[in-house]
Amino acid sequence: MTPLDDVALNFNPSSLVLLNLILAFVMFGVALDLQVEDFVRLKKTKRAFLVGIFAQFVFMPAATLGLVYLIEPAPSVALGMIIVAACPGGSISNFVAARANANVALSVSLSGVTTVLSVVMTPLNIALYGGLYAPAAGLLREIAVDPGDMALAVAVLLAAPLALGMAVNHWLPALAGKLRRPMRLASLAIFSFFIAAALAANWRPFVGHVADIFLIVMVHNAIGLAGGYGLAWIGRLAEDDRRSIAIEAGMQNTGFGLVLIFTFFSGIGGMAIIAAWWGVWHLISGMALAAWFRGHDAAMVGRAA
């Protein structure tokens, strides 16, 4: 069996362009829920906001580095894990937060803010934590990734469609209102279809290595979900805020991670397979967690009655 670091995936330049367009479409949809007031309102919930940012950009990458040192995966897998952890929260997290009876306003605001901050934080965390794990650092040096170029890519891919969506919400609120739900559902469907198609096109290497990555992604994702909730609990936040932060920390923008992997890292197998499976698994785990939260709430209501 070909080692993960040497796996060459079937992913051509036109597929990368399509993924970029899908990512821009998804981010535009997220921004239709955002207003400048959302960012201003975060001043009134500083603790929840700061805990959410800490969970996303400090806890998750640092915990990932700890997990990498513990399990010592292949270098490309380790760097793939770090890249996923360095990405901002995924847009689907807002949909899951609604299903989980979480604080949707906090979830949407955190998604928007972390996306803006990712212009600086994502390249910084990839360079920092990738450089702290020697095997992954070797890949970084070999590929010679320029953090400045990566920051520019983040700004174009995430910040531009986010700004456009917010502009539509501000200047054309009626149109934004009509587009929100269809865009949310379309984003979920299109991104899920793309991930499924990418896996199908690379089914043989994926199946050959799924046993190597399945448990890694499951544990990695669980750390994000549990860690986000735990940090919010330590911060004495309300239950709906805890749920939002758990979901934001455990559901990453894996589509953006894949764009970075194929743009800057030549689509090395271990990285791409980790990010692609993350894109599938966090939907499963997120919806399962949301169902558990809703069931718990229903049980509590039943007991109170």
Q: Which CATH class name applies to 12-304?
A: mainly alpha
The pLDDT score that the predictor gives to residue 277 is 84
Gyration radius from the chain CA atoms = 19
DSSP 5: G
Give Cα separations from 301 to 229, 247, 265, 287, 304 (angstroms). 22, 23, 50, 21, 5
Q: What is the predicted pLDDT for the residue at 6?
A: 57
Q: Looking at residue 41, what is its pLDDT?
A: 64
Q: Which parts of the chain have pLDDT scores under 70?
A: 1-14, 16, 38-43, 91, 142-147, 150, 201-203, 205, 208, 267, 302, 304-305
Q: Are the C-beta atoms of residues 243 and 215 closer than 8 Å to each other? A: no
Write out the DSSP string of 215-265.
HHHHHHHHHHHHHHHHHHHHTT--HHHHHHHHHHHHSB-HHHHHHHHHHHS
Report the distance separating Cα 132 and Cα 138, nearest Å.
10
Q: In the chain, where are the structural domains located?
A: 12-304
Please tell me the distance from the alpha carbon of residue 140 to that of residue 124, in angstroms, as a whole number.
13
Q: In 10 A of CB 45, how many CB atoms?
A: 18
Tens of pLDDT, residues 197-242:
777 766 676 776 777 788 999 999 999 999 999 999 999 999 999 9
Structure-token pair, residue 165: 């969506």
Q: Give which of 251, 281, 246, 264 is closest to 88, Cα–Cα.
A: 251
Predicted confidence at residue 146, as pLDDT, reads 64
